[in-house]
Amino acid sequence: MHELQLLRADHAPALLAFERENRAYFAASIPDRGEDYFARFDERHRDLLAEQDAGVCHFHVLVGTAGEVLGRVNLVDVADGAADLGYRIAERAAGRGLATSAVREVCGLAAGRYGLTTLRAATTYDNAASRAVLARTGFTVTGETQLSGRPGLTFRRHLHNSPPTPHDL
């Protein structure tokens, strides 16, 4: 079982463990965060919480029954009713539908709680799992892009400002 939670200060130790444990796994499909990210993690975590408090971003963690972080689903650059969606799931939790269910839940939160009308996302061509999650959760391809020098696609999903349905959760 898992639960999507809004990022809090007390998530820091489990979130750092998640990032460390999955660093090589993530780096295979997205740019590595670099050593500075880990060296300054506590400061970065405080900065993220400040951005969240300011309403600029909405950060979520997918927490397992033992309190471990299984994934992240974030809405960043919130402005004018829109935001960019980003997500990552732990290697040991991949392939179980967690990304799809977490993205659906965040789409419901985006529309209902945060009042957003549009979400944007992007992924590289070679990240088939991410493309599949976006397709299953109602995103459509809007164009091509470069992500850290790698070719990719951009996506968009228009949201309805109504309470999430069971399909959205």
What is the per-residue burial (b if ≥16 Cβ within 10 Å, else e) of 118-138? ebbbbbbeebeebbebbeebb
Domain spanning 2-158 has what CATH number? 3.40.630.30
Q: How confident is the model at residue 140 (pLDDT cuts 50, 70, 90)?
A: very high
Q: How much is the pLDDT for 161?
A: 60
Q: In this predicted model, what pLDDT tens digit does every residue of 26-39 receive, in sequence order?
A: 888 777 788 898 99
Q: In this predicted model, what pLDDT tens digit does every residue of 76-134 receive, in sequence order?
A: 999 999 999 999 999 999 999 999 999 999 999 999 999 999 999 999 998 899 999 99
Q: In this predicted model, what pLDDT tens digit does every residue of 149-159 receive, in sequence order?
A: 889 999 999 99
- Other CB atoms within a 10 A radius of the CB of residue 28 amount to 10
Domain ranges of the chain: 2-158
